[in-house]
Amino acid sequence: MDRVGFIGLGIMGKPMAKNLVKAGYPLVVYDIVPGPVKELAAAGAKTASSPREVAQASDVIITMLPNSPHVREVVLGKNGILEGARSGQLYVDMSSIDPMVAREVEAEVKKKGVVMLDAPVSGGEPKAVDGTLAIMAGGPAAAFERVKPMLLKMGATAVLVGDIGSGNVAKLANQIVVALNIAAMSEALVLATKAGVDPEKVYQAIRVGLAGSTVLDAKAPMVLNRNFKPGFRIELHIKDLSNALAAAHAVGAPIPLTSQIMEIMQALKVDGREKEDHSSVVHFYEKLANVEVKKKA
């Protein structure tokens, strides 16, 4: 069984790493925040003092980091993965970053004989905890097959989309669809409320038809219950949409609706809602219509 290094034990990374420990993988972990490291150590993982040390102790290295600059720093920076890496290792970046950055990093690690996959995830913290994430990967097929059993300890599905960077293109496509679904739901439920129709009954009426979706079933009940505790924070969705816009501009693919939902989320950030769940998009529409979408008493 491959020795696994895991770097980045945040909201998503910590439960993902715990699922690998539960599955029996020999794990060594690192994070700049000591609390989660201690928690993983208590669960049975070994600890390291730097990304370099993680690489030296691992056959497969996984990172789950906030954004592109963090991946560059952890891989290419001082005491980074590349300083401790050796030929034949496999590096899997499960962060959601700019696909162009994934390709840049892959070009650098390749010089040392390290094979890289980008394998971002979808599903938020609840699915990270129960190991049912959707994982979308880019990179060599042989490398993907080697780690697929490991990925399926963290996710319910793992799909190889294409070459390096393709995983993040798929993730950005996912984030566009999710964001616009939430915006459409918000518009619809605000319309129902303003028209004097029970929004919960409207939700129940449309959820089994063509308008039904996983997003609708996950987010409409949150809005109706006025529960905006984050499963996926607005500030993180802003980050993903920023990467989507950058990638789209780089390849010449206009994405005007993405620009609109990005500005809506930016407005919510200005209102101090960036730490709320992205279902909080409904607040933007509620302010415009001067109504509140909620269950009837």
- The token pair at 79 is 């005491």
Judge if 212 and 120 occupy the same domain. no
Judge if 140 and 221 occupy the same domain. no
Q: CATH number of the domain at 176, please.
A: 1.10.1040.10
Domain range for 75: 4-163
- The token pair at 228 is 């905006």
pLDDT in tens, the chain (297 residues): 899 999 999 999 999 999 999 999 999 999 999 999 999 999 999 999 999 999 999 999 999 999 999 999 999 999 999 999 999 999 999 999 999 999 999 999 999 999 999 999 998 888 999 999 999 999 999 999 999 999 999 999 999 999 999 999 999 999 999 999 999 999 999 999 999 999 999 999 999 999 999 999 999 999 999 999 988 899 999 999 999 999 999 999 999 999 999 999 999 999 999 999 999 999 999 999 999 999 987
Q: Catalytic annotation on 112?
A: no
Report yes or no: 18 and 42 within 8 Å, Cβ to Cβ.
Answer: no
Domain total for the chain?
2
**In the chain, count of helices (H) and strands (E)?**
14, 9
Among the listed residues 18, 127, 171, 219, the single catalytic one is: 171
Please indicate, yes or no, if residue 295 is contained in any of the structural domains: no
Judge if 138 and 12 occupy the same domain. yes
- For residue 135, give Cα distances in angstroms to 95, 153, 210: 11, 11, 25
Cβ count near 252 (within 10 Å):
6
